[in-house]
Amino acid sequence: MPEGSPKTPAKSAAKRPSTAKAGLADEVRKALDADIDRLETGSQMWSHLTLSQRATLMERLASSVGAVAEEWADTAAISKELEPGHPLRGEEWLSGPYGTLTALEAYGSTLRALAAGASPLNAVKIDTAAGGRTRAHVFPLSRVDSLLLSGYTGEIWFEPGVTQRDARESAGLAQLTPSDSGGVGLVLGAGNITSIPVLDVIYELLAHNRVALLKVNPTQDSLVPVFERALAPLIEPGFLKIIRGDGAVGAYLTTHPRISHVHITGAATTFDAIVWGPSKGAGSAATTKRRRENKPKLTKPITAELGGVSPIIVVPGEWSDADLKFQAEHITTMRLQNSGHNCIAGQVVIISRDWAQREDFLAALRTAYDAAPRRSAWYPRSNEKLETAGSTYPNAHWCAGGTRALIEIGADDDASALETTEYFAPVLGVVALTGNGQEFLDAAVAHANDKLIGTLGANVIIDPRTLDTLGDNFEQSMADLRYGTIAINAWTALGFLTPTLSWGGFPGASLEDVESGIGIVHNALLLDRVERSVVRGPFRPFPRSVGAVMRPGTFSVLPKPPWFVTSRTGAGVSEGLTRFRIDRNWVGLAKTLAKAFGA
């Protein structure tokens, strides 16, 4: 909730402390201070907007984002070394403008409901999940979503003790008190997925009534002109300012007395450096002392979305050859989308050593991992990460001409490096445990909880027959899995892209042990006391999903999803879906869906 109202610009300027030691030129400091002056004025203006006016603002943003969507996707693709015609350019449509447009639409619906005096949850089915938790079925909420993501569903699980009445009455967060100001927040943007900084800014505004100073990651500098046009409806009235800058700029702003809150998307090491100070070199002794005395260097609130090592739990069952191939491509996508530069990229596949089809599965995985389209590891220091993996695991399989590593941990091998190092690069590992059925699932959940660092997201793949056999025990296992997003027969990235779901680490992290972060984002229904999101998808694509109509499982009319790195038509379909979100042209959508069946 809001941490207090900002000072007026005049009073703030009078009390402004010296910044001579900040390591910045005077003109840079003055420019940053002037930006904060304008944002403080914008904060006052924001507090006077009605909920209906804010809903209209979301519509204006959708129009301005739509106007630059093609340039956004093209600029992002070029910055990631994806040349025109590359089959993976569709990733930049989905993870950039598409994700932003769906979020704006969902936030607009929430604001209109609140403006009418209703809870955003009034039209949402609420029931009980494992462990007695209150659960809201927040996706799909429209026929369009049901059509575009046929077979996929999403749930919010609230923290234990939250009742249905609590959930409904608290939905809205800061928009329940729209005139209260949260001041000026600093958003330190991510460098990998282009919608992240934009969505973080919108969440600051709506969840906390906080205007934002957005410092983009240097990897996204080329997108700043696009962002400035896309977000002009926020920039013009002073609700947002976008800046570039190096670490010195970030250091100055995080300690600025008129920044009320910091939000970062990045690595735990960066978070720790902001909160405690440098861990190496000059200043490290002071950092150690601060940690020992539990006196953080940062004295203002901070939230964070950080990464980790994400598991992919493969529950043994009886799979067809087509199942093996499809799920191998599914797992390959979890690792190789965006060349593995994702905080939510699957990194450790957990399988059963006793699974009768273990070798068949591994053979399919090797084939899919090697055959996926080649691309560069473009993120800074990626080659170092790959070299580290190769040095630690000299028996790794190097696929696609040596550009990606597949590490199969043997019975006598040490998996600790694989399980505690977020490679943020195309490195995929396989770890085998004993058991079948519930015995294996219990062991896999415990292994993921206790051996893998991070709590951001976990993936579980299970066929319909096995799911039916496990019954309620499976749901209890999901409750025991301590991750902020769980994807069952889906990838947790669907949780990221679904605006009515929450995104962030599992509750319980602290400044001392930040794990995968503190707080959540996205959450377009503005729900309070969220524990996790759960995504469910089809084990089989259409037409093989037809069998799910007659037995437990999920039916879908979708063929291979366009986000699969192995989709032949993914680029065109992803662009077409985004254009439909912009123009609602049903003829164009029909052509896009027809193209999808050529995947």
Is the model more confident about 12 or about 597?
597
**Residue 320: HSE in the Cβ half-sphere, 13 Å Cα cutoff:** 9
Kindly state the percentage of the chain with pLDDT values over 70.
95
pLDDT average, residue stretch 66-90: 96
What's the topology of domain 37-128+176-303?
Answer: Aldehyde Dehydrogenase; Chain A, domain 1 (3.40.605)
Q: What is the pLDDT of residue 18?
A: 39
C-beta of residue 88 within 8 angstroms of C-beta of residue 82: yes
Sequence-separated (6 or more) residues with CB below 8 Å from residue 76:
92, 96, 194, 223
Token output for 271 = 């978070």
Q: What is the pLDDT of residue 546?
A: 86
Predicted model pTM: 0.94
pLDDT band at 6 (very low <50, low <70, confident <90, very high): very low
pLDDT average, residue stretch 146-161: 96
Question: Does residue 12 have a pLDDT over 50?
Answer: no
Spatial distance between the Cα atoms of 383 and 389, rounded to a whole number of angstroms: 10
Task: Delimit the domains of the chain by residue range.
Answer: 37-128+176-303, 310-493+536-560
Spatial distance between the Cα atoms of 481 and 497, rounded to a whole number of angstroms: 21
Most confident region among 24-28, 286-290, 331-335 by mean pLDDT: 331-335
- Helix and strand numbers (H, E) in the chain are 24, 19
**Average pLDDT along the chain:** 94
pLDDT per residue over 279-294, tens digit each? Answer: 888 889 999 999 999 9
pLDDT per residue over 336-358, tens digit each? Answer: 999 999 999 999 999 999 999 99
Q: What is the pLDDT of residue 118?
A: 98
* Peptide bond between residue 140 and the one before it cis (omega within 30 degrees of 0): yes
pLDDT band at 11 (very low <50, low <70, confident <90, very high): very low
Q: What is the pLDDT of residue 515?
A: 97
**Residue 569: HSE in the Cβ half-sphere, 13 Å Cα cutoff:** 15
Spatial distance between the Cα atoms of 48 and 59, rounded to a whole number of angstroms: 18
pLDDT band at 503 (very low <50, low <70, confident <90, very high): very high
Sequence-separated (6 or more) residues with CB below 8 Å from residue 117:
none
C-beta of residue 569 within 8 angstroms of C-beta of residue 562: yes
pLDDT per residue over 516-563, tens digit each? Answer: 999 999 999 999 999 999 999 999 999 888 877 666 567 888 899 999
pLDDT per residue over 191-205, tens digit each? Answer: 999 999 999 999 999
CATH number for the domain whose boundaries are 310-493+536-560: 3.40.309.10
